Structure 1
Amino acid sequence: MWNTPTPEQLATIPRLYETEHIPMKDKIVHFHFFIGGCDWFVVEFDGVDTFFGFAILHGDLRNAEWGYASLNELKSIKAKGYLEIDCDFYWKPRPAWQVELICKAQGWPFTTMNNSQKGENQWHTLPN
């Protein structure tokens, strides 16, 4: 895995079931892992190996879902024998409703902040 999160970084993620009371849209996505057309967005961690989050495999938004993933399994994946999953080094934690791919897969409207609008929300309809 490229840019493997440090134990200190992983410790910042809420533990499994800690955010159960928070609506899915409002859960904070702490990490984004990706390779090719696959994305994993992490919202909870058990402190050992198991993430809870949103997964989109092979760009298939219709079958994307909330569920569990193993950090060790993500680390072990090598596409074509050498391509590894990457942890998005530039990712900033944000609510799920601010992640375009999650919004598109869940059928939620996607909101972006436009600096020219002085902080006003701009709503966009994404193509299917």
Structure 2
Amino acid sequence: MRETLSLYRGHDFLPATERLAAIPPICGQDGVPTTDKIIHLHYTATFGEWWITELDPDTWVGFGYARLTAMAECAEWGYIPLDELEAAMDPHGNIVDRDLRWQPTRGTDIPGIGHL
């Protein structure tokens, strides 16, 4: 994936290779109750939050939970194209940042994450 806003962001959008390798592939946590799924990455912006549980490193499509600030009631689990998320910018110039302090966490331990 080509990162377009890393210089503006001040850090890489994707974590180090060894951390990426620890993220299960798409459908890699099928059958695991939502509350027990491990959230491997967390992205934030003034306009939303995204939690990634699985990732396809060939297409950079992740699976996870997304909640947009303006439509929090519409938060849902689904597929998240990380290349689009990396390039997203609101009209005020705010971009999506990776939570650099994030550690893999069970879904049940994250307040406000909806369950399937």
TM-score normalised to the size of structure 2? Answer: 0.80
- Aligned to 2:108, the other structure's residue is in SS state helix
State which of 62, 65, 68 in structure 1 corresponds to 2:73: 62
State which of 60, 63, 83 in structure 1 corresponds to 2:94: 83
User: Counterpart of 1:34?
Assistant: 44
RMSD: 1.7
Larger Rg: 1
User: Counterpart of 1:111?
Assistant: none
State which of 84, 92, 104 in structure 2 corresponds to 1:93: 104
% same residue? 30
Q: Which structure would you say has the larger RCO, counting Cα contacts within 8 Å and 6 or more residues apart?
A: 2
- Aligned to 1:33, the other structure's residue is in SS state strand
Of Structure 1 and Structure 2, the greater strand share is in 1
Gaps in structure 1 of 5+ consecutive residues: 107-128
Q: 1:77 to 1:87 in 2, by over 3 A?
A: same
Count of aligned residue pairs for this structure pair: 104
- Displacement, 1:101? 2.4
Gaps in structure 2 of 5+ consecutive residues: none
User: Counterpart of 2:26?
Assistant: 16
Q: 1:82 to 1:8 in 2, by over 3 A?
A: farther
- Aligned to 2:80, the other structure's residue is in SS state strand
TM-score normalised to the size of structure 1? Answer: 0.73
